[in-house]
């Protein structure tokens, strides 16, 4: 049984309802923004999407644990050791964008089995776009196969990175600046969308430095199945160290070197 056959129905159902919940509140006066202990925003849409997703997992009959941004779960700092597969969910990645009316937010869904992400989906309803990948089955954007770019020179490349906010120290800001200066062009945007742009072949690299596993769970498999690479700065394929770099593969080592 392929991973799409096993998990696709569940992921599609979660994404469809998540889109509807998010759009119900997007750019409306009904949205309520609270602040978590770390100061990051959370809305009733974030909570509603995760509650819905957990209910659908329970009703699916699949043997799945859940790790989510809003309601937690076990082993948030390493791959699960429970012996069961698990859904890792960010109900709304880019809540800051969401509540400000910026359309680059989305629901992120990853299925982890035996320490490996085997299925991933990112659904961005305000962009009317959904990306998905299943291990060994390719990467897709709205049902059409996608591929990374063929650029082989930094001088031909476009790089996207996380912003240089207060969570980054001077050394991190300098490394990001060094990477952007080496490219033909660059932007600081952060979040899931920049990694999807790598998978689509629109840009050559995307960099995040302070992410949680739910921010990253589906991104690497989508980039890899599109022909690219996703690792941390040390070159390890993991979503548990906070730093995450996606490239078209051809420029990966050069990008990592500039970030070290």
Express each pLDDT in 90-120 by its tens digit: 999 999 999 999 999 999 999 999 999 999 9
Residue whose structure tokens are 């689509």 = 200
Q: What is the dihedral of CA 24, 20, 103, 77, to 10 degrees?
A: 110
pLDDT of res. 1: 79
In DSSP terms, 121 is beta-bridged to 109, 132
Residue whose structure tokens are 């082993």 = 75
Nearest by Cα to 247 from 194, 211, 210, 209: 194
| Cα distances (Å, whole numbers) of residue 102 to 47, 105, 149 | 19, 8, 26
Distance of alpha carbon 32 from alpha carbon 38, whole angstroms: 18
pLDDT of res. 163: 81
Number of neighbours of residue 249 by Cβ within 10 angstroms = 19
Nearest by Cα to 90 from 64, 108, 106, 117: 108
* First CA to last CA distance, the chain: 41
Joined together, the tokens standing for residue 90 give: 């960010």
| Cα distances (Å, whole numbers) of residue 144 to 20, 139, 140 | 22, 8, 5
Contact of 11 with 115, CB cutoff 8 Å: no
Distance of alpha carbon 227 from alpha carbon 146, whole angstroms: 9
DSSP state of 254: H
Distance of alpha carbon 148 from alpha carbon 249, whole angstroms: 8
Contact of 25 with 45, CB cutoff 8 Å: yes
pLDDT of res. 196: 98
**Coil/strand/helix, residue 141:** strand
Q: Length of the chain, please?
A: 260
Tell if the pTM clears 0.85, that is, is over it.
Answer: yes
Low-confidence stretches of the chain (pLDDT beneath 70): none
Please spell the DSSP secondary structure of 167-231, one letter per residue: TS-HHHHHHHHHHHHHSSEEEE--SHHHHHHHHHTS-SEEEESS--HHHHTTHHHHHHHTT-EEE
In DSSP terms, 144 is beta-bridged to 141
């Amino acid at each position: 049984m392929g991973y799409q056959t096993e998990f696709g129905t569940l992921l599609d159902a979660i994404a469809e309802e998540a889109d509807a919940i998010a759009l119900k509140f997007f750019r409306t006066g009904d949205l309520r923004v609270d602040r978590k202990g770390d100061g990051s925003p959370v809305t009733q849409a974030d909570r509603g999407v995760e509650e819905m997703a957990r209910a659908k997992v329970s009703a699916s009959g699949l043997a799945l644990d859940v790790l989510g941004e809003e309601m937690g779960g076990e082993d948030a700092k390493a791959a699960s050791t429970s012996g069961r597969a698990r859904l890792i969910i960010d109900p709304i990645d880019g809540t800051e964008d969401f509540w400000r009316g910026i359309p680059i937010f989305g629901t992120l869904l990853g299925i982890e089995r035996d320490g490996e992400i085997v299925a991933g989906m990112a659904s961005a309803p305000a962009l009317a776009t959904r990306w998905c990948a299943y291990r060994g089955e390719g990467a897709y954007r709205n049902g059409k196969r996608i591929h990374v770019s063929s650029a082989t020179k930094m001088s031909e490349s476009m790089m996207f990175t996380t912003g240089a906010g207060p969570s980054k120290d001077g050394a991190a800001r300098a490394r990001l600046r060094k990477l952007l200066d080496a490219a033909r062009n660059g932007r600081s945007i952060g979040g899931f969308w920049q990694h999807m742009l790598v998978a689509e072949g629109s840009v050559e690299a995307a960099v995040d430095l302070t992410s949680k596993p739910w921010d990253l769970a589906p991104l690497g498999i989508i980039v890899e199945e599109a022909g690219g690479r996703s690792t941390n700065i040390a070159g390890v394929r993991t979503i548990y160290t906070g730093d995450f770099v996606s490239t078209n593969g051809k420029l990966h080592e050069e990008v990592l070197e500039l970030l070290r």
